[in-house]
Structure formats: structure tokens, C-alpha cells
Amino acid sequence: MDRAAFKRSPIFGILRGVEPGALEPLLAAVASAGLKTLEIAMNTAAAAQLIRRAAALSRGRLTIGAGTVLGMEDLRAALDAGATFVVMPVLVEDVMAYCVKHGVPAFPGALTPTEIYRAWRAGATMVKVFPSDLLGPAYFKAVKAPLQEVELLACGGVTPDNMGAYFENGASAVSFGARVFKKEWLAQGDFASIGLCVKAYMDRMERIAPPFPSATKP
């Protein structure tokens, strides 16, 4: 992951449950819509193979990472396949330690202030506040008041309509998943609808006044 590039466009998609045959047209659709960063969840069937193929097909247009990394086996498979960043739903300490030691950008999940601070102290590139929609943008402002240096990623319930509020309240980045990569659209091969949804996010991102909060550590 190019951290400076991510800082310029601090948004990524979370892809889960995609079939191998759908991968190439899906990647083309999201790249054409302007997305730069995409994670493939490791609880997707044949996730490592999908990551490897996605990295090859993207030809530099997309940065590919691995999500739902819950142990060292997942981590090794993801990195061997070419993932350049790692996302976790919780803080997995041995995974986090490896990523810090080897310079792999890592986004562990947390919710409470204690969990968030613990993940940050462990070396997170950014802490994924998940599920963000349970507490909303105001929660980010409350957390950032005492934890000003902690970088937060909003995950869960982020839409083009509310993403600006997340940034205004202290988020450094946002993400989206199932509301864009809908099971029925993936099953039907409706990549046009997926692309339109992604474009709505990217268009809104362009209208959010910079500078964003620092999306990554230096």
C-alpha cells in the first residue's frame, strides 16, 4: 500500500463472497468508477487465489489488501498472494506484531475507547471502528477528544450521504461493503449497478473539503 496515495483518497471497498468468474469485470467496474483501494475478505472461498488474481488484473489501478484476517495462517496466505495491507475485525495481537515488524499497513478493528487505544498502541496504521453505524459520526468526535493522535477508519453503515459527517467528526478514512457489493448484483453479474454505487462514493469524496485528517502515520 502506498500510504501517501491512500491519504489522498482515504476510502476503500470491502469485497466478500465474490466468485472467481466475476472478479475481472468487477475490478474493471470499480476501477473505472475511481476506486483506488480494495480489500478481499479472507472468509471468501479461495480468498488467497482471488487476491493473487486481483493483484495481477489490477495492473496498478487498484491496491489490493486482505480483510477478515484472524490469524497467522490467514496473514501468511494473504501476503504470499500479494496483499499489500491487512484489515482485521478485532485486534489480533500476533498478526499486528508481525505487520509492525515487517512494515505491513494494518487496520485492526475496535469499538470502545479502551479497545481503540490498545489497537493504536499496538502499532495500527489506523484503527477500524467497527461497526461504526451503531454509534454514528458523533462517536468519532467523542473518541478523538481525548485520543487526538489516534487515526480512525469508519466501517459499517457508511453512505455517500453520511461520509462527510464521519470526516467532519474525526475519521481519517471510510469504507463500504455489502451495501455496494450486493449478493444479488454479484450473482446476476450486474457490475454496472456496482460501478454506479462506487462512483457515488467517489464523487462525494471529491466534494469533501480537504485536507482530510491524516489517513496514515508518516
Considering 128, 149, 168, 182, which one is annotated as catalytic? 128
128 catalytic per annotation:
yes
Cα–Cα distance measured from residue 206 to residue 36, given in angstroms and rounded to the nearest whole number: 13
Considering 19, 36, 39, 144, which one is annotated as catalytic? 39
168 catalytic per annotation:
no
Catalytic residues: 39, 128
